[in-house]
A and B are shown apart, each in its own frame.
Chain A
Amino acid sequence: MADTQRPTSPHLQIYKRQVQMMTSITHRATGIALAVGSLLVVCGLLQLAAGEDSFNHFKGIVGSPIGMILLLGWSWSLFYHLCNGIRHLIQDAGFGYEIPQFVRSSWLSVVGSIVLTALVWTYVLTAGGAA
């Protein structure tokens, strides 16, 4: 909690763009997105408990074009937060702090999340549309 007028860290404007910095910011951003998405999960469960009409209405909204675009964003957020979260857990255990390892694992999180998202949506679309 800063009550002073001093500049607060991080000084984003003076940093050179680096992949580890982007993975960190994206981890927070996807975390916020997923926190909002958690309300959708509860919404789905409530509609399931409320009855068939409510649930079909929910499925209709989720399966609409806008719903699908949001789901694409949420699924990528989930897979990114998952991959990068596992990376952070490994780092918390004390591994992977050499700079080349750090950069490599950053890219692994990014690529891994895209691959997982692509796999899931390939399954969804080849199985004939979502929800």
Chain B
Amino acid sequence: MSAKEAVVKDRRNPMKIARGLGSSQSGVGHWWAQRVTAAALVLLGIWFVVTVLCLLHADYATARATVAKPWNALLLIAFVLTMFWHAVLGLQVVIEDYVHVRWKEVVLMVAIKFIAVLGALAGVLAVLRVALTP
């Protein structure tokens, strides 16, 4: 059915049919957030790997003291938050592309967000406990 026929049938202005179904002007928000978190993770990721490698043979007290250092605690919290944010953005695209059953898509989409928020909060809480407990 062409758009013209649809209009004749509905007796409605084509704009009425199109409005609210197309772009909501927020389409590039996801794209930008994915790139900005990616750029942040280039730096934070390299920092994290180097920090872990430096702690390779460290005992518990050294590892704890390293995480408790203000700059390390700050960067670690930034790393955890950005990591989960970026993970949700990426997994969302994969789910949208490959899960074609609507209820499964919605369930997965909500599940990854629940897990990511819990993971991020748990990570931040753990760093704060280490950093703030003497």
Contact = CB atoms under 8 A, between A and B. Distances in A.
Interface in B32-89: 35, 38-39, 41-42, 45-46, 48-49, 53, 56-57, 60, 63-64, 67, 76, 80, 83-84, 87
A31 B18 CA distance: 36
Given A1-B100, A32-B94, A127-B57, A46 B84 contact: no
A82 B100 contact: no
A68 interface: no
B119 interface: yes
Contacts of B49: 75, 78, 120
B87 A34 contact: yes
Interface in A30-54: 31-32, 34-35, 38-39, 41-42, 45-46, 48-49, 52
B38 A85 contact: yes
A120 B53 contact: yes
Contacts of B56: 124, 127, 130-131
Contacts of A28: 90, 94
Contacts of B45: 78, 82
B39 A89 contact: yes
Contacts of B35: 89, 92
B67 A48 contact: yes
B53 to A, nearest CB: 6
Contacts of B46: 82
B1 to A, nearest CB: 15
A86 to B, nearest CB: 6
Contact of A38 (B64, B87, B125, B126): B87
A42 B122 contact: yes
A49 B130 contact: yes
Given A1-B100, A49-B129, A123-B53, A31 B94 contact: yes
A29 B76 CA distance: 25
B84 A38 contact: yes
A49 B91 CA distance: 29
A63 B96 CA distance: 36
14 contacts: A1-B100, A2-B100, A3-B100, A31-B90, A32-B90, A32-B94, A48-B130, A49-B129, A78-B45, A86-B42, A88-B38, A89-B39, A123-B53, A124-B53
